[in-house]
Each structure stands twice: as C-alpha cells, then as structure tokens.
Amino acid sequence: MSSFKDYLSSRRELVEAGLDRYFPDGMFPKELGDSVRYSLLAGGKRVRPILTIAAAELFGTDPERVLPFACAIEAIHTYTLIHDDLPAMDDDDYRRGRLTNHKVFGEAMAILAGDALLTEAFNLMARESLAAGLPPKRALMAIQEIATRCGINGVIGGQAMDMLNEDREIDFPTLEYIHTHKTGALILASVRTGVLLSSSTKRDIDRLTEYGRCIGLAFQVMDDILDVEGSFEQLGKQTGMDAKQKKQTYPSVVGMKQAKDVLASLTDRAMDRIKPYGGRAAMLHEFARYLQTRKS
C-alpha cells in the first residue's frame, strides 16, 4: 500500500481535476464564474472530498464513482468559507493565502458565488448520479445526508449559534454544539457519503459515523489551537482572530492543555472505531493522525 503522503497527493490531484471539470473556465456571467473559481481553485487541503473517497475505498468503491459527491462537498465547503469571510460574518481579509473573495470581487459577487457553489453542488450530485446510473436510493440517501448536515440542524445552525453568541460567555455544551455543527457536521457528512454510496451494512455506517463525529470535532478543536499557535504563513489566513473577536474556543474555555488532551482522545476514539477493518482502513487511520498533527 502506498504511503499516506502519496495517497493524499494522488487523491488531491483527482479532486483538483474534478473541480476544474465540474466548474470550468468560461462560465457565464464571467465575473460570477471568475469569483467561483477564484475561491474554489485556491488550493485548500481538500480534507473533506478526500475523506469521502477514502471512506468509499474502504469498501472497495472506485473513487471515480464518488468524485461528483466529493467535489460537491468541497464546493459547499468553499461557499461556507466565502460567506463566513464576509463583513457581516467574520469579516476576514485573507483566506487560503490570498485576499478573501469579497475583497477581490465585491460583497454582492461574493454572496452570489457562495449561492452558486451551494446550488450547483446539488445539481452536480443529481446530474452525475443520473448520468452514471447510480442506484437511486443510494444517491438520494447521500444527497439527503449532505443537505441535512449543511442545513439548520447542521452547518448553518452552528454558524447561527456562533454569530448569536459573539462577545458572550458561553457554557461548554453551547461551545460543543457550535463546533459539532459549524465544522463537524460537514466532515461527518463527507465520511458518511463515501459509506452510503458503497456496498456497506448498517454496522459499517454506525462505525464510520462515530469515526466521522470524532474527527469532525477534533478538526475544529485543532482549528482553535492553530488560531493561537499557528502563523499566517502556515495557515494562509490571519491568526489570533478568535481572541480578537472574543470568540469562545476550546483553549479559551478549557485551557490549552486540556484542549490538546481532548484532541488526542477524540483521535484515539476515531481510530478505535475503525480497528475492525484492520489494514484495509490504514488510510483512514492515518487521516485521523494527520488531522491531529496538521500545521495548516
């Protein structure tokens, strides 16, 4: 089996090619197309689409079969970043190492680019499922999974709760709600989508759901830690923003040491859930470790 580094880079290449194909140069109106591609093809880590592919591959599914779903998830993720950076939300100037979308294209076009990415993501999943003749029930289950985890009971609910509690002291359950919804939900959906589109049993879905929940929360805990300990050069965005915006985070609520302990125990729990698959789950195992030790 190839090393994890090779695995990441080969699956990343697949995702980049898919994004470029599904959101091609020359979309009309040109300004909207340019705004969409500016953020989408700005070189993110592609964690979520690679997780979809890796979860599918655990069950022997060809990456090409899930690629439209993986790219749709990355498009949705990119929309959340564009909207989150807007002045009405986090008001950030830099993302993925370059100026934020609204700084380059203006607020109206940034809002529309986000809207377009979200809408076209669902178009992409439905269209390519029909074209590839995917079993309709599996395709619909995956589409519903993504819609649910991105909606009021997922990302948008988490973001709303985050906005509503700015400048306020929050209790631990509220912090956990924000993290598991704002960030964890889409990561969980990424894993579950790969499983739902594969030949998997209820037991498989349950195991991978717990894996996805753990790494989803771990991802945001790490994001909180990196906002304190990381740098612009590593992250491609301004750091120290949580403290500046008086946001409650794991380090600010439970302290840095305990935040790191939580991160370690979530990672261990995620790995434990996929143990029954042995070596077949090596890439998902490495993925959990990578998310715990990432610097960007």
The least distance separating ligand GRG from the CB of residue 206, rounded to whole angstroms, comes to 25
Query: Which of 81, 113, 117, 266 forms a contact with ligand GRG (CB under 6 A)?
Result: 81
Is residue 101 within the footprint of ligand GRG (CB under 6 A)? no
Which residue's CB is nearer to ligand GRG, number 103 or number 138?
A: 103
Contact, 287 vs 54, CB < 8 A? yes
Is residue 96 within the footprint of ligand GRG (CB under 6 A)? yes
Distance CA 116, CA 120 (A): 6
The least distance separating ligand GRG from the CB of residue 151, rounded to whole angstroms, comes to 10
- Of the candidates 207, 78, 46, 230, the residue with the CA atom closest to the CA atom of residue 155: 78
Distance CA 41, CA 61 (A): 26
Residues 181-200 that bind ligand GRG (CB under 6 A): 182-183
DSSP secondary structure string, 189-211?
A: HHHHHHHHTSS--HHHHHHHHHH
The least distance separating ligand GRG from the CB of residue 155, rounded to whole angstroms, comes to 5
Specify burial of residue 47 (Cβ count, 10 A radius: 0-12, 13-18, 19+): buried
Distances (CA, A) of 74 to 67, 95, 114, 226, 232: 10, 15, 12, 21, 22
Contact, 41 vs 16, CB < 8 A? yes
From residue 231 to residue 270, the character string flagging contacts with ligand GRG as x (rule: CB under 6 A) and all else as - is ----------------------------------------
Which residue's CB is nearer to ligand GRG, number 182 or number 273?
A: 182
Residues 29-68 that bind ligand GRG (CB under 6 A): 44-45, 47
Is residue 80 within the footprint of ligand GRG (CB under 6 A)? yes
- Which neighbouring-strand residues pair with 95? 98
User: Which is it for the CA torsion 54, 57, 62, 65, positive or negative?
Assistant: negative
Query: Which of 223, 229, 272, 286 forms a contact with ligand GRG (CB under 6 A)?
Result: 223
From residue 110 to residue 139, the character string flagging contacts with ligand GRG as x (rule: CB under 6 A) and all else as - is ------------------------------
The least distance separating ligand GRG from the CB of residue 19, rounded to whole angstroms, comes to 12
Six-digit token pair at 189?
Answer: 């959906």
Q: What is residue 108's DSSP assignment?
A: H
Q: What three-state secondary structure class fits 155?
A: helix
Binding residues vs ligand GRG (CB under 6 A): 44-45, 47, 80-81, 83-84, 89, 96, 155-156, 159, 182-183, 220, 223
